[in-house]
Amino acid sequence: MAFVSPIDIRWRDLDAFNHVNNSNYLTFLEEARIRWFATLGEDWLTDEFAPVIASVLVNYKYPIEYPAKVNVELFTAALGTSSVTIGHRIVGEDGRLYCDGQVVAVWISRKNGKPITLPDGVRRASELLLEDAGH
């Protein structure tokens, strides 16, 4: 099971080669994560705690050309005590895979910057999106 977030490619997303600039893929992935977190119905960000991105892996498979509509698919690749590894894919309406990879998000205390136990809502939502390692 995956969380799916549609993204419309904008003219401003393009680079000099007339396809989506590689850095914008990270923006699309960030937008999808925020949309997913917003559906949790519980706090994922407060004055006491917040997620930080510890690592990012993006495997670019195919350039995205304008105009296009894509879907960002998110799933849980691994679940830890204070972190979740969020797998991602950017897929075209025709099923073409533009990129895949993962990010590791760690929840930290805003007071001291140290990792904390995942908020309950984040853990529950991550468990729902847990995929088999053999995906």
pLDDT tens, residue by residue, 3-60: 999 999 999 999 999 999 999 999 999 999 999 999 999 999 999 999 999 999 999 9
Class of domain 3-128: alpha beta
Buried b / exposed e along 99-134 (16+ C-beta atoms within 10 A): bbbbbbbbbbeeeeeebbebbeebbebbeebeeeee
Give the domain ranges of the chain. 3-128
Contact 53, 37 (CB under 8 A): no
Q: In residues, how long is the chain?
A: 135
The structure's pTM equals 0.92
Nearest to 58 by CA among 98, 18, 94: 98
Cβ atoms of 127 and 82 closer than 8 Å: no
Supply 118's token pair: 């995942």
Pull the structure tokens for residue 105.
Answer: 């998000």
Q: Which residues contact 27 (CB under 8 A, 6 or more apart)?
A: none
pLDDT grade for 133, boundaries at 50, 70 and 90: very low
Angle (CA) 8-34-70 rounded to 5° is 25
Provide the token pair at 1.
């099971």
- 46-96 tens-digit pLDDT: 999 999 999 999 999 999 999 999 999 999 999 999 999 999 999 999 999
Q: Which residues pair with 99 in a beta bridge?
A: 60, 90
